[in-house]
Amino acid sequence: MSKKSIGQKILHFPLTKIIIGISVVISVFSFSKSFLSGVFQTDLLAKDVIHLIITIISSILSVVAYIYLYKFYERREITEFSTHGIGKNLALGILLGVLAQSLTILVIYVMGGYSVVSINPFLYIIPPLAMAFSSAIFEEILFRGIIFRITEEKLGSYIALVISALIFGGLHLANPNSSLSAGIGLAIQAGLLLGAAYIYARNLWFPIAIHFAWNFTQTAIFGASVSGNAISKTLITSKISGADWFTGGPFGPEGSIQATFFGLLAAIILLILSHKKGHIIKPYWKTIAANKV
């Protein structure tokens, strides 16, 4: 068996694979959005509809870029985007995302902090739909498809889960109205949950569906801010008031204690099920030690 050259070792080093993957996906997503914004210069469609179309196309191109990059780079079948069982994974993910967000808002409602101000035209769901669609696909490719998956290959499921969750929560500290507690909460409720969802399903469709349903339900349906960002148009205009610990304050319901609790609970359940299914990957040093025995 021929030894790899230094260049090949560097090219296939995990950190190199992560940097290249992130660079390619971000470049494709950003360029396609910029290019399509120049192409779709028309008065025939509303701006919100045009933005939705551009977002969908750019997100799909990001998936295509990921598939072809790693199919060539790692010389393997891209099973994380396999269509096998896609309906089940999307349906289960949407159900889990809607349930977790609804329970989060329910706590605020029971505490007297949530009320409906008005119900808006149905087309007001388009801006939050575009946001939820792009953030779910784009972020899951970056954080679960690239950072978590490649880190897991060497360090194992649990260490990779903690690392990717901390990175996910840490990057959200730069969001408007964010705080250390909000970043920690997102690391737990989203970073751990979505990573656990990937481990359980061994594909990206499941965490993408959870991420999409969580964001869409939070903004379009309940009219709340998502990760510190307020959406101008939502199906329901709501008023959320009360202590930050159960409302999330200006950051939105994701900054609440119950959101963190429900996300952590779901993550623990998925990890237990993943362990039973044999989906937990051990660190490379434990695998080597086991093979020597």
Render pLDDT for 86-110 as a digit per residue (tens, 0 to 9).
999 999 999 999 999 999 999 999 9
Q: Are 149 and 198 in contact (CB under 8 A)?
A: yes
Q: What is the pLDDT of residue 39?
A: 83
Q: What is the pLDDT of residue 1?
A: 45
Domain that holds residue 284: 84-292
Gap between the Cα atoms of 169 and 260, Å rounded: 12
- What rounded mean pLDDT belongs to the chain? 92
76 found inside a domain: no
Overall number of domains in the chain: 1
Residue 99 lies in a domain: yes
Q: Which two tokens stand for residue 122?
A: 């149905």
Average pLDDT (279-291) is 82
As a whole number of angstroms, the distance between CA 126 and CA 235 comes to: 9
- pLDDT score recorded for residue 289: 66
Give 7-66 pLDDT, tens digit per residue: 888 998 999 999 999 999 999 999 999 999 888 877 667 888 999 999 999 999 999 999
Residue 214 counted as domain residue: yes
- Hey, is 17 helix, strand or coil? helix
The residue-averaged pLDDT of 63-75 equals 96
pLDDT of residue 140: 97
Record the pTM.
0.94
Q: What percent of the chain is modeled with pLDDT above 90? A: 77
| DSSP secondary structure string for all residues of 76-122 | S--GGG--TTHHHHHHHHHHHHHHHHHHHHHHHHHTT-EEEEEE--G
In a domain, 58, yes or no: no
Residue 48 within any structural domain of the chain: no
Q: Is residue 25 part of a domain?
A: no
pLDDT tens string 124-173: 999 999 999 999 999 999 999 999 999 999 999 999 999 999 999 999 88
In the prediction, which pLDDT does 4 show? Answer: 74
54 found inside a domain:
no
pLDDT higher than 90, residue 69: yes
Beta strands in the chain (DSSP E): 114-119, 236-240
pLDDT at 44: 64
| Mean pLDDT calculated for residue range 76-83 | 95
Residue 202's alpha-carbon distances to 80, 82, 252, in angstroms, are 6, 10, 30
pLDDT for the residue numbered 292: 64
Is residue 139 in a domain? yes
Exposed, middle or buried by CB within 10 Å (0-12, 13-18, 19+), for 240? buried
